Amino acid sequence: MNPLLHLRLMTEGDLPFADSLRAVVGWNQKPHDWQRLLAYEPQGCFVAEWNGSPVGTATTTRYANEVAWIGMLLVHPDHRGRGVGRALLERCLQSLRGTRCIKLDATPLGKELYVKLGFQAEWPLTRWETQCLDVHGDSPALAAEAGGQSPAAAGPLETVCHPASSTFQGGLRLRPWKVTDASRIEPLDSGVFGVPRTRMLELLATQSSNAIVSTDEAGRVNGYGLLRQGSRAFYLGPVAASSSEAGVTLIRTLVHQVKGHPVFWDIPDANQAAVSLVKELGFTPQRPLLRMFIGNNEHPGNQERYYALADPSIG
Ligand SMILES: CC(C)(COP(=O)(O)OP(=O)(O)OC[C@H]1O[C@@H](n2cnc3c(N)ncnc32)[C@H](O)[C@@H]1OP(=O)(O)O)[C@@H](O)C(=O)NCCC(=O)NCCS
């Protein structure tokens, strides 16, 4: 490793730098995303320094010892091509030793590096965007304070707004997210995502401006969806559902809360119901991403029931 390059653990004090680097590359996360990543994995988030100044970041997120994610791999444009990205990635892999499968959602720039370190392609996905969401029809009967604010203008955590009451859409009952729901949805979510991630869902729900659960007539959970603020657009996800009817209804309900605002939405290309809906709602593709893995991919999940990712940095 170049003697000018030094890697160390990320601390709370690094978050302003980390978020400024995120802004340089134009990604959509906010400080609360960094805070969540660091709170979840304080021994697994890293900063690269070049000659004593911070120039790069990377995070890891472990789901038991089965699967882990590498995310937020960022190197300042002035310091690229010097081995900083490779060193950060190697440090992440070292800290995740013992994990059966390590995954990430690669940008085209990152893919070149990951292939060199042995990552294989799993499946493609696409980041879709709309600058002004235009949805027609009656607004579902859910409270929606966050829809009146732009993501940039609203504060990070104080705008938590969950639906005030239940509503019926066809045979589905939509209701507000409850604090116990991360555990209740675990059987559904782990089948879709691949492994349980209850604690991460609890944290994401706390940071979401809208969070809803759908159940069938017998009260069985058949889907859930979250939506939170980003720095450039509202971020739709994660959304998982056991039927396309539930997935589509959850998404229509969530996006109704933010009509008129920019929204980003990451969708596995294989989820045809979500791809049809995103086109119908007038989104356009922003960039391709590629889910990649290294190790033993024993728990791939079900991309056809994954309607919206949680974030490319955590799956
Ligand atoms: C991707 C990124 C982190 C790479 O950082 P970096 O410090 O420039 O990477 P390195 O200098 O360590 O290069 C690592 C290897 O990847 C190769 N590589 C890096 N970028 C490449 C590119 N655009 N095309 C081809 N190869 C590339 C290098 O040749 C190098 O190979 P080597 O180690 O065999 O010599 C950086 O470009 C970046 O921050 N991009 C924007 C954010 C992003 O897309 N991050 C990835 C998220 S998945």
Domain of 93 in residue numbering reads as 5-99
Is residue 210 included in any domain, yes or no?
yes
DSSP assignment string, 47-100: EEEETTEEEEEEEEEEETTTEEEEEEEEE-GGGTTSSHHHHHHHHHHHHTTT-S
Ligand 1: residue whose CA is nearest its atom 36: 75
Q: Residue whose CA is closest, atom 42 of ligand 1?
A: 74
User: Same structural domain for residues 93 and 144?
Assistant: no
222 CB under 6 A from ligand 1?
no
184 and 284 co-located in one domain = yes
Helix (H) or strand (E) holding 250, with range, is helix 244-256
Q: What is the pLDDT of residue 166?
A: 67
Given a cut of 60, whether residue 33 has pLDDT beyond it is yes
Q: Are residues 141 and 258 in the same domain?
A: yes
- Structural domain includes residue 109: no
Total domain count, the chain: 2
Averaged over 247-275, what is the pLDDT?
96
Q: What pLDDT, in 10s, does the model give residues 87-140?
A: 999 999 999 999 999 999 999 989 999 999 999 999 999 999 999 888 876 555
Q: Per-residue pLDDT for 71 more than 80? A: yes
Closest approach atom of ligand 1 to CA 82: 11
Q: Please tell me whether residues 67 and 134 are part of one structural domain.
A: no
Do 24 and 163 have their domain in common? Answer: no
User: Strand, coil or helix: what is 2?
Assistant: coil
Q: In the numeric block, which tokens belong to residue 218?
A: 């017998």
Residue 273 region, left (φ>0) first, then alpha (ψ -120 to 50), else beta?
alpha
Which CATH number is 226's domain given? 3.40.630.90
Same domain, 270 and 145: yes
Q: Read off the pLDDT of each residue in 166-175 and give the average, rounded to a whole number.
A: 79
Ligand 1 pocket, residue 57 CB under 6 Å: no
Whether residue 291 sits in one domain with residue 164:
yes
Q: State whether the beta carbon of 313 lies less than 6 angstroms from ligand 1.
A: no
Q: Are 172 and 245 in contact (CB under 8 A)?
A: yes
Confidence of residue 146 (pLDDT cuts 50, 70, 90): very low
Say if ligand 1 is within 6 A of residue 80 CB. yes
Q: What's the CA gap between 89 and 91, in Å, rounded? A: 5
Angstrom distances, CA of residue 264 to CA of 21, 108, 111, 189 = 20, 18, 21, 21
- Spacing of C-alpha 123 from chain mean position: 16
Give the model's pLDDT for residue 140: 54
Q: Is 107 domain-assigned?
A: no
Q: Ligand 1 mean position to 45 CA, how many Å? A: 19
Share of the chain above pLDDT 70, in %: 89
* Most ligand 1 atoms within 8 A of CB, residue of 27, 80, 93, 289 to mutate: 80
Q: How far is the CA of 258 from the centre of ligand 1 (A)?
A: 36
Does residue 86's CB lie within 6 angstroms of at least one atom of ligand 1? yes
**Separation between Cα atoms, residue 153 and residue 171, nearest integer Å:** 37
pTM to 2 decimal places: 0.91
